[in-house]
Structure 1
């Protein structure tokens, strides 16, 4: 899927953000790129949550078309290339951190095995 195929449910900004980021996998891809920096397709595929290869390809295509993720070397094939966040993707860092903090406070009694938020590398300027 790419941005041209998006089916926007409404003009509400929150709804629009959820149309892009609200599925099970997209924010986990963004999380991995925030926490680990640039990652190859194979490294993203090996995430502990176990994303399927077709879903990963679809989400990377969507994130790329929305200019949230880019290839480190645009002329290299996807499997041999690393992906990184763009400035727009990096802007999701506080959203993810806030969501993680919310979960640690509000879900801790329901999910005893929840980990603390992973340390993320310092933001590059």
Structure 2
């Protein structure tokens, strides 16, 4: 069963890459998320017009052992969020364009836009 999950995860990522239009270079709009800063206060991070087809590590938490949470996708592209830094984990979740969102329980460390 684990092999099937791993295969589906990898196949989904490849399918996402192949559906990216050749002329698109960025998802238009904002992708927001929350994270805890060094004082354990909740902060809001934003990616504005993020590049398409490129794995983006959440910059505010890149050097920490914490995760971002509660993502909201207000871009015009599908966002796939991952629990690891390089968009390769078996744990991922897709957020639809123009308002797709996740709860506080949806943790992420990297994101990929179609």
TM-score by length of 2: 0.31
Q: Which of the pair has more CA radius of gyration?
A: 1
| Bigger strand fraction | 2
